[in-house]
Structures are given as C-alpha cells and as structure tokens.
C-alpha cells in the first residue's frame, strides 16, 4: 500500500513549506505533523484538509499522474474512486467556459478501465 504520510511530506516539500509553516496552515503542531508523516494511512479528514490547504486534488496524494496509476494496480479500489471523484471535481470547479469535456471523458474512461481491470 502507498505510504500516505510520506507522500504528504513529499508534496509539502514540493510546495516549499517548512514543517512549521505547514503545521500552522493546517492548524496543528509541528510535532503532530511529524506523526502524520509516519502514518501509512492518514484518514480521509486529514487528507481532505491537506488537499484543500495545498489546493491539490485528493488524487495527488495517491498518485502524481494518470500514468502512475497504470503501474499501481495494487492500489486499493477505494483510492481509484477517490481519484476519479477528485479528477471530475477538479474539472467541474473550473468556470464552464474553461472546462475540457473531451479531457474529462478521456481521464474518467482511463480511470474506469483501470478500476474494472482490478475488480
């Protein structure tokens, strides 16, 4: 299984946050944030909170791209559902004149095919 605590740490570093500054952003202590980094499963609420503060969709915590999903067939089916839901939400949160429906259909189709292949 993907280690979500380490993935969170990686994303925080990519965004240029220090441990203290990101802890302040999410309203926790640096010590508590360090504990999050050691957890394999962070839970949905922590992931949602971090996703919102980092302005990244939840699926970024699971994979960094659709190509990576193709190589991770052992990832839990629920993570695919989260990835699909967030992928769609990310597109539909854009102003209607900026939505790319072909892209949405293609990405949703790719995720659906991958989900079906591991069921």
Calpha distance 12→115 (Å, rounded): 28
Contact 11, 60 (CB under 8 A): yes
42's CB contacts (< 8 A; 6+ apart) are 4, 5, 8, 36, 50
- pTM of whole model > 0.85? no
Q: Looking at domain 4-56, which of 1.10.3720.10, 1.25.40.10, 3.50.50.60, 1.10.260.40 is its CATH number?
A: 1.10.260.40
Give me the tens of pLDDT residue by residue for the chain, a chain 119 residues long: 568 899 899 999 989 999 999 999 999 999 999 999 999 888 878 888 898 899 887 777 776 555 555 555 555 566 667 777 777 777 777 777 777 777 777 777 777 776 665 54
């Amino acid at each position: 299984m993907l280690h979500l605590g380490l993935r969170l740490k990686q994303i925080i570093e990519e965004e240029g946050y220090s441990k203290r500054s990101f802890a302040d952003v999410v309203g926790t202590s640096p010590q508590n944030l360090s504990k999050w980094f050691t957890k394999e499963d962070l839970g949905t609420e922590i992931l949602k909170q971090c996703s919102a503060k980092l302005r990244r969709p939840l699926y970024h915590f699971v994979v960094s791209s659709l190509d990576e999903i193709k190589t991770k067939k052992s990832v839990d089916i629920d993570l695919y559902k989260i990835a699909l839901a967030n992928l769609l939400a990310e597109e539909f949160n854009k102003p209607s004149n900026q939505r790319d429906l072909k892209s949405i259909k293609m990405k949703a189709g790719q995720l659906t095919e991958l989900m079906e292949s591991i069921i």
